Amino acid sequence: MLTLYGMPDSGNCYKPRLLLAKLGRPFRHVAVNSITGETRTATYLARNPNGKVPLLEFEDGRFLAESNAMLLHLAEGTRFLPADSHERALVYQWLFFEQYSHEPFIAVRRAILKYPERASQATPDRMQQLFEGGTKALEVMESQLAKTPFIAGDALSVADIALFAYTQDAGFAGYPMDRFPHVEAWLERVRADEGHVSLEWLP
């Protein structure tokens, strides 16, 4: 059975949980708290030298890091990754967009507002910079979702799962979601897709 090491309330850790739940694939979950240093122990760093969660352990003892790499790997041959080469390339595009242009703003602003340990980072300049970067990411999503029902085209893919993870908390993180009606409608479409589970769900 697969083992997923993760922090239950992290959006990045939620991504593979959501996909595994939708695939009906059983897995063991091991809670690891990156805020209290559990990802910096020698044991953990031997498994993932980058010291991050989530981390996936396969039946044969091999490991895979990076939430979006897990999504691509686990989605192979399923409805969550298009068979058409160009459609699949667009899924890649949005997965990299998520990690470079979306998560470093929206996930970080959410974390600063959510975790008391990070409250000292809430300087006006930093919060404004995170607001601007995240707003730009939501604008890019809004322009795409005005054209297609899901972010990479007509069907839900792992790119939607990746972007859903933190976009669902963008309102909490202080972004003006009423400016992004297509994003809000898309959030509902992702929630309505078969087999959806919320961030709180654990196996």
Closer to a second copy by Cβ: residue 95 or 190: 95
Among 69, 122, 185, 202, binds a second copy (CB under 8 A): 69
Task: Give the interface size with a second copy as a residue count (CB under 8 A).
Answer: 34
Q: Which positions ≥6 away from 48 have C-beta within 8 Å? A: 39, 55, 63, 65
Question: What is the arrangement of strands in the sheet containing 27-31, beginning at the earlier edge strand?
Answer: 27-31, 2-6, 55-57, 63-65
Tokens at 45, concatenated: 């760093």
Among 3, 33, 99, 129, binds a second copy (CB under 8 A): 99
**Largest Cα span, the chain:** 48
Interaction between residue 76 and a second copy (CB under 8 A): yes
DSSP 62-131: -EEE-HHHHHHHHHTTSTTS-SSHHHHHHHHHHHHHIIIIIHHHHHHHHHHHH-GGGGGG--HHHHHHHH
Binding string, residues 78-97; x marks residues near a second copy by CB under 8 A: -------xx-xxx-xx-xxx
Among 10, 34, 39, 68, binds a second copy (CB under 8 A): 68
Restricting to residues 101-120, name those near a second copy by CB under 8 A. Answer: 101, 103-104
Binding string, residues 131-170; x marks residues near a second copy by CB under 8 A: --------xx--xx--------------------------
Written as one letter, the residue type at 153 is: G
Is-contact 59 4, C-beta < 8 A? no
Choices 36-44, 70-78, 116-124, 181-189 (CB under 8 A): range interacting with a second copy: 70-78
Q: Which positions ≥6 away from 123 have C-beta within 8 Å? A: none
Interaction between residue 100 and a second copy (CB under 8 A): yes
- Applying CB under 8 A, the residues found at the interface with a second copy are 49-50, 52, 58, 62, 64-70, 72-73, 76, 85-86, 88-90, 92-93, 95-97, 99-101, 103-104, 139-140, 143-144
